[in-house]
Amino acid sequence: MPNTSTTFMGLQLRNPVIVGSSGLTRSLEKVKECEAAGAGAVVLKSLFEEVLAAKDFGVKDSVMDHSEAYDYYFAHLELLYGSKDYTDMIKAAKAATTIPIIASINCVSTKWWPDFAVQVESAGADALGLNVFTTATDLTMDSNKLEELYYEILSTVKEKISIPVALKIGPWFSALPHLAVEFGQRKLDGLVLFNRFTQPDIDINEMKLKTGFSFSSESEVALPLRWTALMSHYLPYDICATTGVKTSENVIKLLLAGASSVQVASVLYEQGLGAIGEMVAGLEKWMSEKGFENINDFKGKLNFHNAAVPSHYLRAQFMEKIAEYE
Ligand SMILES: Cc1cc2nc3c(=O)[nH]c(=O)nc-3n(C[C@H](O)[C@H](O)[C@H](O)COP(=O)(O)O)c2cc1C
Q: What is the pLDDT of residues 186-222, one digit of tens each?
A: 999 999 999 998 888 999 999 999 888 889 999 999 9
Report whether pLDDT(178) > 80: yes
- As beta bridge partners, residue 240 has 192, 261
Triad 2, 236, 311: Cα angle to 5°: 80
Triad 40, 85, 93: Cα angle to 5°: 25
Report whether pLDDT(164) > 60: yes
Report whether pLDDT(50) > 80: no
- State the pLDDT confidence band at 60, using cuts at 50, 70 and 90: very low
- Mean pLDDT over residues 175-195, rounded? 97
- Mean pLDDT over residues 98-125, rounded? 87
Which residue has the least CA distance to atom 29 on ligand 1?
Answer: 22
Do residues 268 and 24 lie in contact, with contact meaning Cβ atoms separated by under 8 Å? yes
Whether omega before 194 lies within 30 degrees of 0, making that bond cis, reads yes
- Mean pLDDT over residues 311-322, rounded? 74
What phi and psi values does residue 187 have, to the nearest 5 degrees? 70, 30
Q: Is 45 in the pocket of ligand 1 (CB under 6 A)?
A: yes
92-96, 189-193, 312-316: segment of lowest average pLDDT: 312-316
The pLDDT score that the predictor gives to residue 64 is 41
Tell me what percent of the residues of the chain surpass a pLDDT of 90: 71
- State the pLDDT confidence band at 63, using cuts at 50, 70 and 90: very low
Q: Is 197 in the pocket of ligand 1 (CB under 6 A)?
A: no
Ramachandran region, residue 218 (left: φ > 0; alpha: ψ -120 to 50; beta: rest): alpha
Report whether pLDDT(43) > 50: yes
- Mean pLDDT over residues 249-276, rounded? 98
Report whether pLDDT(130) > 60: yes
The pLDDT score that the predictor gives to residue 74 is 52
- State the pLDDT confidence band at 59, using cuts at 50, 70 and 90: very low
> Which ligand 1 atom lies nearest to the CA of residue 244?
25
Q: What is the pLDDT of residues 235-252, one digit of tens each?
A: 999 999 999 999 999 999
Maximum Cα interatomic distance, the chain, rounded to a whole number of Å: 71
Q: Is 23 in the pocket of ligand 1 (CB under 6 A)?
A: yes
Q: Is 216 in the pocket of ligand 1 (CB under 6 A)?
A: yes
| Helix (H/G/I), strand (E/B), else coil: 107 | coil
Those residues whose C-beta lies under 8 Å from the C-beta of residue 186, and which sit 6 or more positions away, are 151, 154, 155, 158
Q: Is 261 in the pocket of ligand 1 (CB under 6 A)?
A: no
Report whether pLDDT(78) > 70: no
- Mean pLDDT over residues 89-99, rounded? 97
Q: Is 97 in the pocket of ligand 1 (CB under 6 A)?
A: no
Q: What is the mean pLDDT of the chain?
A: 89
- Mean pLDDT over residues 165-178, rounded? 95
The pLDDT score that the predictor gives to residue 135 is 82
What is the bridge-based pairing of β-strands 165-169 and 127-131?
A: parallel
- State the pLDDT confidence band at 75, using cuts at 50, 70 and 90: low
> Which ligand 1 atom lies nearest to the CA of residue 131?
11
